[in-house]
């Protein structure tokens, strides 16, 4: 590891830290997240090359224009100052934008419209949503009593939430949680929410926060809209990339004792 002793990897309080010291730290800690990110990036770059993906000067210029607009860099001096503040050169910014363009092209090449539609068709139920509100108390008997008031006395759920819910983040807005999808719910709650009718109060369900009564306000079947499509594109790409990484059989040889 002697050659690594000659390479400065970073500075701490103005003191040089060699790449050898960084490697020794990784060996002792067993933390490979950084190396995993490096391996991931190199596999992506290799796949971009294999597929012959290219970025034109026009595409790079358009990306630079979009970047300056997003960052509100209206004058050349604004861009100059932005770069200086971060220690970047113009060439580094161009490489950064070019890399993002290549990544987007690979994403499009892997997660095609057909792949997105197929994924949605196979997992449609996962994209169902429900607009729900909840009431949380610390005692099951209290939850049962409040549910009885709703079922038998037609008590107003929102009023009960304001009076009794221990969830201080929602008790003043009637317990509204907004839209939740199936995957964000526990299996028990998900199965009950999506098997009941709109307007029903179900529960109580016990969690670490107490006992929950849930008002199912609205049920929405999964739709392949823009947001869902983008989420699926990312899922398809990450699944594909995980397969590429597994097939590459990455070994952390730098962490092996010398």
How far apart (Å, rounded) are the C-alpha atoms in residues 102 and 61?
14
End-to-end Cα separation, the chain, in angstroms: 7
Q: What is the pLDDT of residues 12-66, one digit of tens each?
A: 998 888 888 888 888 788 777 888 888 999 999 999 999 999 999 999 999 999 9
Over range 101-109, report the average pLDDT: 97
Per-residue confidence (pLDDT) for residue 2, from 0 to 100: 58
Q: What is the pLDDT of residues 187-220, one digit of tens each?
A: 999 999 999 999 999 999 999 999 999 999 999 9
Q: Are strands 8-12 and 201-207 parallel, antiparallel or unpaired?
A: unpaired
What is the enclosing helix (H) or strand (E) of 132? Answer: strand 129-137
Per-residue confidence (pLDDT) for residue 257, from 0 to 100: 58
Eight-class DSSP state of 125: G
| Sequence-ordered list of residues with C-beta below 8 angstroms from that of 37, at least 6 positions apart, any chain | none
How far apart (Å, rounded) are the C-alpha atoms in residues 133 and 159?
12
Model confidence at 255, pLDDT cuts 50, 70, 90, reads low
**Which pair of structure tokens corresponds to residue 231?**
């989420």
Closest alpha carbon to 215 in 160, 152, 139, 141: 160
How far apart (Å, rounded) are the C-alpha atoms in residues 255 and 8?
18
Q: What is the pTM of this model?
A: 0.71
Over range 236-243, report the average pLDDT: 96
Q: What is the pLDDT of residues 68-100, one digit of tens each?
A: 999 999 999 999 999 999 999 999 999 999 999
How far apart (Å, rounded) are the C-alpha atoms in residues 142 and 14?
61
The share of the chain scoring above pLDDT 90, in percent, equals: 79
How far apart (Å, rounded) are the C-alpha atoms in residues 79 and 114?
40
How far apart (Å, rounded) are the C-alpha atoms in residues 55 and 99?
9
Q: How far is CA 245 from CA 44, 106, 253, in A?
A: 9, 15, 16
How much is the mean pLDDT over the chain? 92
Can you list the domains of the chain with their CATH numbers? 1-31 (no CATH), 129-220 (3.10.50.40)
What are residue 216's phi and psi, to 5 degrees?
Answer: -90, 100
Q: Determine the Cα angle at 26 with ends 21 and 30, to 5°.
A: 155
Q: Helices 33-50 and 90-110 meet at what angle, rounded to 10? A: 70
């Amino acid at each position: 590891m002697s050659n690594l002793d000659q390479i400065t990897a970073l500075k701490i309080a103005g003191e040089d830290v060699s790449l050898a010291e960084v490697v020794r730290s990784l060996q002792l800690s067993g933390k490979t997240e950084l190396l995993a990110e490096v391996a991931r990036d190199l596999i992506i770059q290799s796949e971009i090359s294999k597929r012959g993906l290219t970025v034109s000067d026009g595409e790079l210029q358009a990306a630079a224009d979009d970047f300056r607009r997003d960052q509100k860099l209206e004058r050349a001096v604004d861009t100059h100052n932005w770069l200086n503040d971060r220690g970047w050169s113009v060439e580094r910014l161009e490489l950064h934008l070019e890399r993002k363009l290549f990544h987007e092209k690979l994403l499009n090449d892997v997660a095609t419209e057909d792949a997105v539609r197929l994924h949605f068709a196979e997992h449609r139920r996962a994209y169902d949503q429900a607009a729900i509100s909840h009431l949380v108390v610390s005692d099951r008997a209290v939850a049962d009593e409040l549910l009885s008031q709703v079922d038998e006395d037609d008590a107003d759920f929102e009023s009960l939430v304001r009076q009794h819910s221990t969830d201080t983040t929602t008790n003043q807005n009637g317990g509204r949680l907004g839209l939740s999808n199936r995957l964000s719910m526990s299996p028990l709650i998900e199965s009950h929410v999506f098997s009941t009718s709109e307007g029903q109060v179900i529960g109580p369900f016990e969690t670490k926060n107490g006992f929950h009564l849930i008002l199912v306000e609205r049920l929405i079947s999964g739709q392949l809209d823009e947001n869902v499509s983008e989420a699926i594109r990312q899922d398809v790409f990450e699944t594909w990339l995980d397969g590429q990484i597994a097939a590459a059989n990455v070994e952390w040889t730098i962490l092996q004792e010398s």
